[in-house]
A and B are shown apart, each in its own frame.
Chain A
Amino acid sequence: MRLGVIKAYMAKEFTDLKRSKMIFLVYLLPVMILILFGYGIRLEVKEARTTIIDMDSSKLSRELCDSFIHSKYFEAKIKNIDYREALEEIKRAKTDIVIIVPPSFERDIAKGLKGEIGVFIDASFPLRGQVMQSYVEGVAFDLAKKLSPQKRPTIMVNQRLLFNQSLRDENAILPGLIALALLVAPAILAALLIVKEKEKGTIFNFYSSPVTKYEFLTAKLTPAFLLHSINIFIAFLIATYIFEVPFRGSFLLFLIASELYVATAVGIGLLVSIVTKTQIAATVLSMLITIIPSFLYSGMLMPISAMEGGSFIEAHLFPVMYYSHILYDTFLIGEGLGSSKNIIYLVALAAYALILMIAGSYLLKKEL
C-alpha cells in the first residue's frame, strides 16, 4: 500500500465523478427515495369514502350512521339508492365501503334478535381493505357495547401505544426508508465505478500498471464510502426536520451503525462489479439485490417477528434487518446499547462489512 499512489488514484476518481455527473446520482437518489416514498407510502386510512344505505330510518340506525359520519376515518354519505347501484359505485372505484342497514334493524334488536348490517369493502388494496374492516368493526363494537344490557361487569381494554403514540406513518416508515436509501445508492455507485473501467476497456491500465489490487480497491471504494457518509447526515436531517420523526436514541450509535452499513453496501457493489461486465447489468443487478430485500426485511411493511420459515431465514441473511433494527431503536425507542440485541446486531453489521470486503478483494483478479 503506497499512500501516494492511492492519493493520486483517488483524485482521479473524484474528478471522474464530477465530470460524468455521477455526483448527482450520489446525492439525488437517496434524497429522492426518502422524500418520494416518505410522502408516497401511506399505510393509515383516513376518510375512507363510505356510502350508507339506511333502509331502516329508525332512531338506532340513525345513531349508527352518525357515528360513521362523525368519525375521522370515514367520509360517510347517506344515500337513498338501490344497493346494486352502490355496488356499482365500488366497481367504478367511486366509493370504498358500502354499508347497508336492513329495514328491520331496530325491530330485530328490540326483539332480542341479532341486528345484521351488510358491509361491502373494496379490497383491491388488501392492506387497506383489512384496515377499513377493522374501523367498521370498531364502530359496530361501540354500538354493540352500548346496546348490551349492563347486568354483566365490563372488561375495559386499557391500551398503550408504544414508540409511535400518534400512529404517524412517517415515524413507522422513515427509518426503514433510510435503510433502503443507504443500501441501494452506495451499492450502485461502487459497482459502477469498477464496471465502468471494464466496459470501456480502461481496466487494462490497472492490469498493466504496477498498482496493486489493494491500492486499486482502496482508491475506488473510498470515494464511494466517503461521499455516501455525507448521506447519513442528509438522511438524518430529512427524517427529523422534513418528516419530523422523533430521535430518541444516541446519535453516536446511529452514526457508527450507518457507517458500517454504508461499508456493507459498498462491499455488495464490489461483489456485483466482479460478476458483471457491463454497466447496465451492474445497475440492474445491484438494484435487484438491494431494493427488494430492503423493502421486505426492514420491518417497514411487516414486523420480522411475524415472518416464518423461508422469509425468516432470508431476513437474517440480508444486512438490512440488523441495521433497520438499530435505526428503529435510535429513532423511536431509545434503548441504545442497553439492549443486548442492539450490540449483537452492531457486531453483525461489522462482520458483514468485513466479510464482504475480504471476499471482494479476494475475488478481484489483477489479470485476465
Chain B
Amino acid sequence: MKAFLTIVLKEIRLFLRSTGLVAAVLFFFLVDVYIVGNDIEIEPKNVKIGYVDYSDSPLANRILSKLHEPEFKPPIMFKSQKELTRAIYEKKIVAGIIFEADFERRYTRGLNTKIDLLLDSTAATQSLLTLNYLQKIILSLSERTPPVELKIHKLFNQNADTKKFMPLAELLSILTLFGVILSASVFVKEKEQGTWDIMLLTPVDSKVIIFAKTSSQVIILFLLTMISTGIDLFGIFDLPLNGSFLAYMGLTILFLYSIAGIGLFVAAVSNTIMEVAQWSVFLMMPIIFLSGAWTPIYSMNEYLQYLSYLSPLRYYIEGVESVLFRGTATADLWLYFAGMGAIGAILFGIGYKKIGRLF
C-alpha cells in the first residue's frame, strides 16, 4: 500500500512539474469548454433573409415585418430576382422571398395568390424555420384566431439552450481524449526515456505499479473534471443539477477507469509518445461518435447502433445527462453503472493483460 501511494504521489508530482502540459490541459478543460459552449450556437438565430417586392404593397410589408429578431435579421431588399438568387448562391442570405406584382391585388380581390420562397437547403434548419414562420404569419393574416393552437413545452432545457448542452458534450469528449493520452503516456514516457528497465528492477509488484500509475492519472483527470464542472458547467453555464452529485462523481470515476484501460492497451503497443498520440486520436473518435454525444443513437445507421454499446462514453453521457438534466433517481441509474462497469472491466482487463506482458 505504501508503495502504491508513493508511486501515485510521484506521478502526480511529475505531472505538476511539466508546466507546459498542465497549461495545455487546463486550457482544454477550462477555456476550450467555455469557447465551445459560448460560440457554437446551432439553434437557428439571426437568420439572414432577403426579398424582392414587385408588388410594392402594404401586405408584403406586413408579412416581412413579422420576420423579426432574434430568429431573423431584418430582411434585406433586392431589386430583382436575379440579384436575390445571386445573393443566395454566394451564401449572403439563406432564404429569399419573392412577391409578384399582382400579389396584393389578387389577394384583395379574393383570388388565391402565392409567395415564392427560395431556400438554401444546405442550411436546412434555418430554411425550415423560415418556411414555418412564413406559414404561421400567413395563417394569422387570414384568421383572427387560429382554430388550433399548440402549447409547446420543451423539457430539461426550457428555451432549448445550446449553451447548456454543448459545454457538457465538449467536456466529456475532452475527458475521453486526455484519459487515453495521459494514462498511456505515463507508461510510454518511461519507455521513451529509457527508465522502463529501472522501473522493472524496483522491488515492487508489477500489479501495484500498473494500478498506481493508472490511478494517479485517474485522480488527476477526476480533479480536472471537478474543476471544470464547478467553474464552467455550474459557474458560467449554470447547468442544472437535478440528481445526486455523488452519482455524477461515481459515474466519472468508473468512466475514467474504463478509459484508462484503453490507455493501457495503447501504452502496450506504442514505443513513443508520437505513437500514443496517433492511437489516441484514432481510438477516441469512434468512442465519441458512437456515444450519442453529438447525434442521438437511434438516428444512426443500424450497425453503428449496435457498435455504440461498446463505447463507454455512451453509458457515461446518458448517465450524466440523466443526473444533471432529467434528475433521474440514483437507484434508476443502475443500468448505466452496470453497462459502464461491464465495458470498463473488459477494457481494463484487456489493457492490463496486454501491458502486463511487458513486465
* Chain A residues at the B interface, C-beta cutoff of 8 Å: 20-22, 24-25, 28-29, 32-33, 36-37, 39-47, 49, 87, 90-93, 109, 114-131, 133-134, 136-138, 140-141, 143-145, 147-148, 152-165, 167, 169, 171-172, 192, 196, 276-281, 283-285, 287-288, 292, 295-296, 299, 301-308, 310-311, 314, 325, 328, 332-333, 335, 339, 341
**Minimum C-beta distance from A118 to chain B (A):** 5
**B273 and A279 contact, CB distance less than 8 A:** yes
A-B contact pairs, 8 of them (CB 8 A): A90-B155, A122-B155, A137-B132, A155-B142, A157-B115, A296-B40, A306-B126, A335-B90
**B160 and A138 contact, CB distance less than 8 A:** no
Q: A39-B300, A126-B165 are in contact. Are A144 and B139 (CB under 8 A)?
A: yes
**B142 and A154 contact, CB distance less than 8 A:** yes
**A41 and B48 contact, CB distance less than 8 A:** no
Q: A33-B285, A277-B20 are in contact. Are A152 and B142 (CB under 8 A)?
A: yes
* Chain B residues at the A interface, C-beta cutoff of 8 Å: 20-21, 24, 27-28, 32, 35-36, 39-48, 73, 86, 88-94, 106-107, 109-129, 131-132, 134-136, 138-139, 141-143, 145-158, 160-162, 164-165, 181, 185, 272-278, 281-282, 285-286, 289-290, 294-296, 298-301, 304, 318, 321-322, 325-328, 332
**A131 and B128 contact, CB distance less than 8 A:** yes
Q: Which residue of B lies closest to A138 (CB)?
A: B132
**Minimum C-beta distance from A287 to chain B (A):** 8
User: Could you list 8 further interchain pairs (A-B, Cβ under 8 angstroms) beyond the known A32-B282, A131-B128, A305-B94?
Assistant: A24-B278, A29-B282, A46-B299, A47-B299, A87-B155, A127-B43, A155-B141, A296-B40
| Complex CA–CA separation, A163 to B127 (angstroms) | 12
**Which of A42, A90, A171 has the most chain B CB within a 10 Å cutoff?**
A42
| Complex CA–CA separation, A154 to B114 (angstroms) | 8
Which residue from B94, B110, B117 sits with its C-beta under 8 Å from A157? B117
Q: Which residue of B lies closest to A100 (CB)?
A: B151
B153 / chain A contacts, CB cutoff of 8 Å? 118-121
Q: A29-B281, A44-B124, A109-B148 are in contact. Are A123 and B154 (CB under 8 A)?
A: yes
**B122 and A134 contact, CB distance less than 8 A:** no
**B165 and A93 contact, CB distance less than 8 A:** no
**A42 and B124 contact, CB distance less than 8 A:** no
**A124 and B116 contact, CB distance less than 8 A:** no
B155 / chain A contacts, CB cutoff of 8 Å? 87, 90-91, 120-124
| Complex CA–CA separation, A1 to B121 (angstroms) | 50
| Complex CA–CA separation, A295 to B44 (angstroms) | 16
Q: Which residue of B lies closest to A125 (CB)?
A: B296
Q: A123-B155, A292-B32, A301-B42 are in contact. Are A162 and B119 (CB under 8 A)?
A: yes
**B289 and A36 contact, CB distance less than 8 A:** yes
B112 / chain A contacts, CB cutoff of 8 Å? 153-156
B131 / chain A contacts, CB cutoff of 8 Å? 157, 159
Q: Which residue of A lies closest to B116 (CB)?
A: A158
